[in-house]
Amino acid sequence: METGGFLIQADNTLIRMVAQPYDSEALLQRLLAEHPDLLGGDQINSADPRRWLLIDRELGVPAEQDGGDWWAVDHLFLDQDAVPTFVEVKRAADTRTRREVVAQMLDYAANATENWPVDRMREAFARRSVSASLDPATLLEDLLGPEGDEEVFWSLAKTNLREGRIRLLFVADRIPEPLRRIVEFLNRQMTPAEVLAVKIRQFASLGEPPLRTLVPRVIGQTEQARVAKAGSRTTTKATVITRQEYLDAVPADRREIAVTILRVAEAVGFVTTEHRRPAAASVWITLPGVAGTPISLGQDYLWVSLGRHHAALRAPSLNQALRQAIFRVVPSLKSAADPDKTEVGIPLDKIDPREEEPLRNIFTIVKAGLEQGRQSPNGDRAEAIESLS
């Protein structure tokens, strides 16, 4: 019976801890979802420990763009630098640990980088957060800090996916030697991707009720691979820029509509703050005194919250009116009809800059909802909204 050390009690007696397998793979998966620090972020990068944002569990991966899902990754996390981190969990008792799991992970990596639009990842995170009664904005702020730029974070996630800047983590209670050698080989060869294994041993006391300790250890990170990948990392730190600097970053064919959107937003009473991070430039659009960013303008999309951060925008009649207003801007935008959507990205190249009134309607409805939310967070201002729509 393998000893995993001893616990010293207050009366100076020792409790022997012995290695114990997990009762099920599902238990280990649940522990990771609830306690992502078990992934050993401080061991992956001791100078800048990785922090984790759980996007979703069992997230489908398609084999082609807009196709059906062929696989489902156990967990998808993003770290504070928006690096997509795929986690596949297997117990040592599962004989597929070395064989099928490696092929599965390579399938995830090859197909997600090609076929996953970032808004799918973004929406999965919002949906999971809302279903768990958590605030997505608060979770992101915990990850990025109060000055974090949400729009740029997701833009950087898109860039990381496209450039193959991802992380593959094989997680098990034991990592067999053949799997360790495969992981080390892949991690040396796959730049900028990072391939690691995390062994999470469970030790328990023999008494009743048993005490448990979990001990994570990151495996496969050679110094050679660490140095090679360090130069490929990007950062999510933002700097405030001028309006003109933002417009200069917008593609020329979308610049006119970006100017129109900002003019309409400010005419309705919104304020804007332009930011730049290495991956992109964006604009936060909000009302004075309202926390969070109900609307943001990137270089390719106008993102409109359908209640992702503000409960008042989920009120049924207001939410429906807002969706209808979005349809008036782009009638073919299918995502606006999806009842599970908590945010919609409107492609800038689909918006007619000559049609300002439909845009004004969106901002007016959002403003009415936010103002109502300040008075009554769960209020449904149906009558006022019907007159606007």
Segment 290-303, tens digit of pLDDT: 877 889 898 889 99
pLDDT, mean of residues 135-158: 82
As a whole number, the mean pLDDT across the chain is: 84
CA quadruple 248, 254, 259, 262: dihedral positive or negative? Answer: negative
Q: Which residue has the higher pLDDT, 91 or 202?
A: 202
Q: pLDDT > 90: what percent of the chain?
A: 35
Specify the pLDDT at position 380: 40
Of the candidate ranges 191-205, 278-292, 359-373, the one whose mean pLDDT is the lowest: 278-292
pLDDT, mean of residues 314-324: 91
Specify the pLDDT at position 388: 43
Residue 10 CB contacts under 8 Å (≥ 6 apart), including other chains = none
Q: Are 186 and 170 in contact (CB under 8 A)?
A: no
Q: Tell me the C-alpha distance between 271 and 265, whole Å.
A: 8
Segment 5-31, tens digit of pLDDT: 788 888 888 888 898 888 888 899 999
**DSSP per residue, 245-298:** HHHHHS-GGGHHHHHHHHHHHHHHT-EEEEEEETTEEEEEEE-TT--S-SEEE-
In what helix (H) or strand (E) does residue 57 lie, and over which residues does it extend?
Answer: strand 52-62
What tokens appear for 102 in the block?
């490696």
pLDDT, mean of residues 251-272: 95
pLDDT, mean of residues 324-335: 90
Confidence of residue 67 (pLDDT cuts 50, 70, 90): low
Specify the pLDDT at position 271: 94
pLDDT at 234 over 60: no
Q: Tell me the C-alpha distance between 218 and 211, whole Å.
A: 24
Q: How many other CB atoms are found less than 10 A from the CB of residue 35?
A: 12
In what helix (H) or strand (E) does residue 28 lie, and over which residues does it extend?
Answer: helix 25-34
Q: Are 3 and 18 in contact (CB under 8 A)?
A: yes
Name the pTM for this structure.
Answer: 0.65
Q: Residue 94's Cα: distance from chain center in Å? A: 29
Specify the pLDDT at position 297: 92
Segment 168-217, tens digit of pLDDT: 999 999 888 888 889 988 888 888 899 999 999 999 988 778 888 999 99
Greatest mean pLDDT range, 64-78, 208-222, 369-383: 208-222
